[in-house]
Amino acid sequence: MKKSYSKYSAKDDLLWLILRPWIFIPRVLYILLTFIFLFLRILFQGNSKNKNVQKKLSKYLFDVITDLGPCFIKLGQALSTRPDLVRQDWLTELTNLQDNLPAFDHKIALKIIEEELGAPVNEFFDEFPDSPIASASLGQVYKAKINNAYLAVKVQRPNLYFLIRRDVVILRFLATFLSPFLPLNIGVGIGEIIDEFGKALFDEIDYQKEAENALRFAYLFKENPNIFIPKLEKQFSSKRIITTSWIDGVKLRDRALLEENNLIPASFIKTCVISGLQQLFEFGYFHADPHPGNMFALKGGNADCGNLAYVDFGMMDSITNSDRLTLIKAIVHIINEEYFLLAEDFQKLGFLTKEQDLHQLVEPLKEVLGGSLGAEVGNFNLKNVTDKFSKLMYSYPFRVPSRFALIIRAVVSQEGLALRLDPEFKILKIAYPYIAKKLLTDNSEEILDILLEVVFDKKGQIQIEKVESLLNILFKDSDNINTDLIPVANAGLKLFVSKKGSEVRKNLLLSLIKDEKLEFTDAKKLIGLIRDTFSPLNIAKSAVQNFISTV
């Protein structure tokens, strides 16, 4: 009989557990005692310089998280992507949480397959192994063979719905109860954030939902030659089984592993980050669990952009069009150091209440984010910003809207993955040029409105310094100046002569009029800036580089 799962409901699930005190009370006590013992051991041994002590402590940490079950393993996986938060010897052990957990009984896996597909495995597959090739928090994967092709068959762990339902309720209860005593200040929404986590986990254990996600994700990236999504095998998939084509690649675990396979780590960092930015800022639909166990480096590609495969589409989420555009505006406002407008963006996104006096936040935001394009850009990463923000949040009423919980998790995990491959990686060096290029090449109405805000002030005058800043971000000190020149030049020309460009043309004409007189100073500066950036020599170099990259 096939399983039917309910959706997550904080109230209903809490009531369900409270009515079962023989389950609720022992489990709460066990979790509390486990963390007390873990805290004490870290307190007394965490600073030890003895390698053997640290090795045993990291193994103890792994065992504790594994023993606590799927919910806690998911939290541990997030930590395993952060080399800037977790010491290296612990990180090595935590990496095993991604796909090297203890497997459940093979006979149980075979029984689940038979229940879900209606017949034993030997009736479907030419070869089916006696043990899984990988074992993760929610299931284990077998490398099966049919018609001379290999498939990845993921089988869900038994009793998973009960375990997740029980522990999400307890996590919410403990977090809500203990949050006033913890050194955290994420606002009043900690329960809501755990609710988002719970909803995502409940979706993740529905493999039919994961199959739909995989198909949607593949469709969104169908035009991207560097992103690969395994093909779904519908006939071998169900509520607790999902089967896809086999991905033959190298996991993005560490730099040495990639180099051993003659792969260039930097190329995969760029593909990984750009694809993540595309998900957030173009598609509005993103992979919320991008840890190294779910991403593979493939042969092919080039030194600039490597070929990357995503797997495991259980934890996905969407961002609204309004939030997506506001985030783009926020990045533009950081680029232009417009901190009052940035505070307005935070308010619109729900990080600040409508009653908050935004003028009070201008200086604090400048202190946190100021100089990110200047001297400090070499030291800028999300960890530095979050450290500063954590201090800021004690003095000002910032809160994390629950709908951003998975977005933050995905972005932080992705930056952590990049830091594993390159400790010197700075996310802004890729994110800023991406946003700049999007503003200059995307002719959608919404992006055009943002571009007009950058080019013209409220009086309709050209903001030369902001246009120059935008072009500098995209072209100055970039490794790929030439590859972007022709696309930007083409897009700009098409926009200017198109029907959509009427607003640009009108604003340019109005900007020439000052005090009822024609004033060409700003126009001359703009023409000079465009001439220098898109000179015939630069365009020729761009054409050659684009030709070489396609050969």
Task: Round to whole Å and give the CA distance between 418 and 82.
Answer: 9
Contacts of 388 (CB under 8 A, 6+ apart): 367, 368
Task: Round to whole Å and give the CA distance between 187 and 179.
Answer: 10
Alpha-carbon separation of residue 23 from 29, 115, 386 (angstroms): 11, 28, 37
Alpha-carbon separation of residue 240 from 111, 116, 122, 155, 246 (angstroms): 11, 7, 18, 6, 18
Active site residue 84: no
Alpha-carbon separation of residue 379 from 374, 431, 511 (angstroms): 10, 15, 38
Q: Within 13 A of 137's CA, how many CA atoms are on the CB side?
A: 31
Are the CB atoms for 469 and 336 separated by under 8 Å? Answer: yes
Say which of 289, 317, 323, 345 is annotated catalytic. 289
What's at 540, amino acid-wise?
A
Residue 516, Cβ density class (10 Å: 0-12 exposed, 13-18 middle, ≥19 buried): exposed
Over 281-326, what HEC string results?
Answer: HHHCEEECCCCHHHEEEECCCCCCCCEEEECCCCCEEECCHHHHHH
What's at 461, amino acid-wise?
Q
Q: Which tokens sit at 173?
A: 């209860």
Q: Which residue, 144, 136, 158, 188, is CA-closest to 393?
A: 188
Task: Round to whole Å and give the CA distance between 147 and 127.
Answer: 10
Task: Round to whole Å and give the CA distance between 177 and 192.
Answer: 14
Contacts of 248 (CB under 8 A, 6+ apart): 150, 298
Q: Which tokens sit at 444?
A: 């959608």
Q: Which tokens sit at 517?
A: 């007189």
Q: Which residue, 136, 135, 114, is CA-closest to 124?
A: 114
Indicate left, alpha or beta for 149 from its phi (over 0: left) and psi (-120 to 50: alpha).
beta
Q: Which residues does residue 316 pair with via DSSP β-bridges, in sequence order?
A: 287
Query: CA triplet 62, 63, 69: central angle to 5 degrees?
Result: 95
Q: Which residues does residue 227 pair with via DSSP β-bridges, in sequence order?
A: 308
Q: What is the DSSP string of 102-114?
A: PPPPHHHHHHHHH
Which residues carry out catalysis?
Answer: 289
